[in-house]
Amino acid sequence: MNLSQPTVLGRTGLKVGRLGVASTYGAPCKAFEEAFDRGCNYFYWGSVRKSGMGEAIRNICGRGKRNDLIIVIQSYSRSASLMELSCRRALKRLALDCGDVLLLGWYRKRPPTRILERAENMRRKGMFRFLAISSHNRKLFPKLAKENFFDIFHIRYSAAHRGAESETFPYLQGEKRVGVVSYTATRWGQLLDEKKMVPGEPAPSASDCYRFVLSHQAVDLCMTGPKNLEQMREALRTLDLGPMSEDELARMRKIGDYIRGANR
């Protein structure tokens, strides 16, 4: 497995770098452009749309690279009309007519029919091409996969949250499988905190957390949320270091179990 090479995001056919980048935490334009130049093209223009990513997207499109970008627009709205309005506003800020992915954020169960019907109507209007959903309910994804309605799943997965290995990933296989994007690889920074570590163990780096996630064959892409250029470059080390060895994976599981147990 070579993490520096793009992969295909499930049945979407989209070629994506193995790291996705989020606008939420405020990294500057330069950080996102540097990531794009390293092949990271899955840009999460989420519910917190910071100017750094917006500027980077406009610059990249200005270089004639729009077709190489995968722009993800998220909506947490449970109102169908507000969901469409939010998507239109997101596109307007980027001076674009169409995004690539509409992500329905954080559902515990199947979205209401009114949401799905409006999403399909938005797709017919050309506002996006592929539909995604995120959830912390791992058992929801196999049920949704049977409906064949969603193209991409955003699934929580880290060394401390490994339930997807048994409850989700085994059910998302086959030639026409849904694309799998993981998030919270650092468990909101807890896996990087020296104060929370197994006694005698140094804390993993952010790139260790991303490598752990991407070492699982079911994961196409791992999200990152850098605050600055330094954090972006640390994330990009993942592409050079590649997947983890069995010893490295065992260490990450040990740390993840300790942190999860301590929080409980």
pLDDT digit string, tens, across residues 62-95 = 999 999 999 999 999 999 999 999 999 999 999 9
- For 158-176, what is the mean pLDDT? 94
Average pLDDT over residues 117-144: 97
Mean pLDDT, the chain, integer: 95
Share of the chain above pLDDT 70, in %: 99
Residue 263 has pLDDT above 70, yes or no: no
Give the DSSP per-residue string, the chain: --TTS-EE-GGG--EE-SEEEESTT---HHHHHHHHHTT--EEEE-SS--HHHHHHHHHHHHTT-GGG-EEEEEE--SSHHHHHHHHHHHHHHHT-S--SEEEE---SSPPPHHHHHHHHHHHHTTS-SEEEEEES-TTHHHHHHHHT--SEEEEE--SS--THHHHTGGGS-STTPPEEEEE-TTTTTGGG-GGGSPTTPPPPPHHHHHHHHHTSTT-SEEEE--SSHHHHHHHHHHHHH-SPPHHHHHHHHHHHHHHHHHH-
pTM for the structure as a whole = 0.95
Binning pLDDT at 50, 70 and 90, where does residue 112 land? very high
What is the predicted pLDDT for the residue at 87?
95
What is residue 46's predicted lDDT score, i.e. its pLDDT? 82
Percent of the chain residues past pLDDT 90, beyond the cut: 93
